[in-house]
Structure 1
């Protein structure tokens, strides 16, 4: 039977690496991505670019990604920018540029497909690749029977670097679970192969958090039970895990700790929903900040319409997400009589959703979501004028 080989390819500090191509003078310096437009570098009196610093940032933004030099200070993605400023005040701050990142993403995936076409897209900076058939065609040598497989992975890395000038890390393993773990072991620019016999030496000493699917809460509970490593988890009786974590999750924990995973590489999947949201720099009030909130809602709807157009999709359901002061989150959906894909129609449906929410509290986040997706109809279909529920008059501030 042909052995199964799956690769997980993860671009190294992807957003930051794309920015370093634009600003090579920042190579080796601590840099974080997550600023606003006003944090664009500006020419100084001497003509040299002047970069914003974390110590000058105010607001509640979070880090999208950070260079490895910044990570050495404990700065990481998801950390609040102002908290990061306490760790590394002189760290350079750059705004996000998703168009540039998406363009680089398309280039690296095209480079991989030139060599290995069986790909599962897992986001802007990572993919799974089924290398089983290609690896079988590559011969190894007596002292390294997997040399052909490793050279195949190296060829993919070289092709990615040639197409993007960026590095990636690849994990090779018999399944997706182990390949994902392996890709993190030797970053950046790593190439790590995990065989079943390597499990006890390379995988079991790792933290339980190394398993994709063990989140902070599950890890905290496992650690409270004295289980800190994957090896300790593997030693647990499966019935004991099921008793404490439930039938499905407990059984999955046992299987994962033993490196067992039979999930296929899925080369195509239908979009379930598409959404855009933004967190405000300050809490906004529906009365005092009516104009600003209206502009934000319109911008989110326009971005959503652009995504639908790119994917040639229309939506039967439009929803909103609002997070208020105190972190109370509310969602509302509006299912329409006909699918929509134009910004104006999406904006109208989002406005109808807003009319069903009490907007007396200040807002800190707003989002718009499209679901019930289907192929775009030949002609533009506008949202039907559904009669809103006559509840909160303050919602009339957001005219649909």
Structure 2
């Protein structure tokens, strides 16, 4: 394994790409989401820094974003263009001859030898030359450290985080500052008297194994200690699931309509599964009630399947798990592939 891992993260990627296409928007609050109409239902895909200071962030309803930042410019999502720009970025990263692990449109890990700061500077230069975009580079001894380092380097900077500086930088921070710990896990840890990264790192793995789980508990302790043995890999990403979802401009009040829509989405997913040539082991249904409460229920199939009828049947069975018959603004169906 190379001695250094670099994490490259494009700054406000989608918004920055749009500003390159529309230079007149530079310095203005820009929000990208849905079809670009904040009067319609949809969520924010990304927001420029100028919009973020008003409390606009990804996942926020577009209508709420418009209320928080009425001067913002709203633009529609253009996936094909973002993918094309992302391809240019990844080509620039691969030009270093290092192993590149792509995480998404706007971020990747690189395995690095030599002077990591010098390489990070060159990465920023080449990405800017290829695309006009700025990026932040985090440097670490493993992927976990590099990923977290990026947050301290933003925007458009370079930051190194190692085992030697880990607790100095992170020790007093809350546990959800760690990559992999969300609000629910952090709350559960607080209930056990563990509030900071340092406290979690000092916790007894055996105790956490009993409280949280034999695998997750000890893993959380290793996470808090800055340990990560996963290699940087350029192996193609194999999706674990595929799904479809729809946001409705008017609430679905009749649950017979909800059932018909879930059946329709399930059959679309079944077609996607057939095109992918893999079988399904579990189906999950997502319901977002008005105004914005989201719940999910799943159903495991008796045996892996590809047939549309069986995927639809599992989706409708999962839907039966929703006991609240409130108006619905969004429905989703996701199929998890059998291992």
The TM-score normalised by the length of structure 2 is 0.79
Within 2, Cα distance between the matches of 1:254 and 1:287? Answer: 45
Deviation per CA, 1:316-350: give whole Å up to 9, x if none.
4496735274756455688999969xxxxx7x886
5 Å-filtered alignment, 1:77-226, equals: 77-131=58-112, 135=113, 138=114, 148-225=115-192
Structure 2 unaligned regions, length at least 5:
none
Q: What SS is found at the alignment partner of 1:159?
A: helix
Most deviating of 161-170 and 314-323: 314-323
Within 2, Cα distance between the matches of 1:246 and 1:332? Answer: 23
> Residues 352 and 19 (structure 1 numbering): CA distance in 2 closer, same or farther, change over 3 Å?
same
Instruction: Give the corresponding residue for 1:365.
Output: 330
Q: What SS is found at the alignment partner of 1:122?
A: strand
Q: By how many angstroms is 1:221 displaced?
A: 3.0
> Residues 273 and 32 (structure 1 numbering): CA distance in 2 closer, same or farther, change over 3 Å?
same
5 Å-filtered alignment, 1:292-371, equals: 297=265, 301=268, 305=272, 313-317=276-280, 321=285, 323=287, 325=289, 329=296, 363-369=328-334
Instruction: Give the corresponding residue for 2:244.
Output: 276
> Residues 90 and 332 (structure 1 numbering): CA distance in 2 closer, same or farther, change over 3 Å?
same
Most deviating of 165-174 and 25-34: 25-34
> Residues 303 and 6 (structure 1 numbering): CA distance in 2 closer, same or farther, change over 3 Å?
farther
5 Å-filtered alignment, 1:60-71, equals: 60-71=41-52
Query: Over aligned residue pairs, what C-alpha RMSD do you find?
Result: 3.8
Is 2:16 the counterpart of 1:17? yes
Instruction: Give the corresponding residue for 1:255.
Output: 222
C-alpha contact (below 8 Å) 2:31/2:48 kept by paired residues: yes
Q: By how many angstroms is 1:275 displaced?
A: 2.1
Q: What SS is found at the alignment partner of 1:196?
A: coil
C-alpha contact (below 8 Å) 2:246/2:330 kept by paired residues: yes
Within 2, Cα distance between the matches of 1:337 and 1:171? Answer: 41
Instruction: Give the corresponding residue for 1:232.
Output: 199
C-alpha contact (below 8 Å) 2:288/2:331 kept by paired residues: no
Q: By how many angstroms is 1:177 displaced?
A: 0.9
Deviation per CA, 1:232-281: give whole Å up to 9, x if none.
33343444444443332221222122211111123224333222322223
Within 2, Cα distance between the matches of 1:283 and 1:262? Answer: 47
C-alpha contact (below 8 Å) 1:315/1:371 kept by paired residues: no
> Residues 89 and 324 (structure 1 numbering): CA distance in 2 closer, same or farther, change over 3 Å?
closer
Deviation per CA, 1:182-209: give whole Å up to 9, x if none.
0111111121112322123223243322
C-alpha contact (below 8 Å) 1:283/1:364 kept by paired residues: yes
Deviation per CA, 1:65-91: give whole Å up to 9, x if none.
111122222222122333334432322
Deviation per CA, 1:117-138: give whole Å up to 9, x if none.
412222222112112xxx1xx4
> Residues 232 and 89 (structure 1 numbering): CA distance in 2 closer, same or farther, change over 3 Å?
farther
Within 2, Cα distance between the matches of 1:21 and 1:68? Answer: 15
Within 1, Cα distance between the matches of 2:205 and 2:314? Answer: 46
Structure 1 unaligned regions, length at least 5:
40-56, 139-147, 341-345, 375-400
Within 2, Cα distance between the matches of 1:13 and 1:193? Answer: 21
Q: By how many angstroms is 1:6 displaced?
A: 1.0
The TM-score normalised by the length of structure 1 is 0.69
> Residues 262 and 288 (structure 1 numbering): CA distance in 2 closer, same or farther, change over 3 Å?
closer
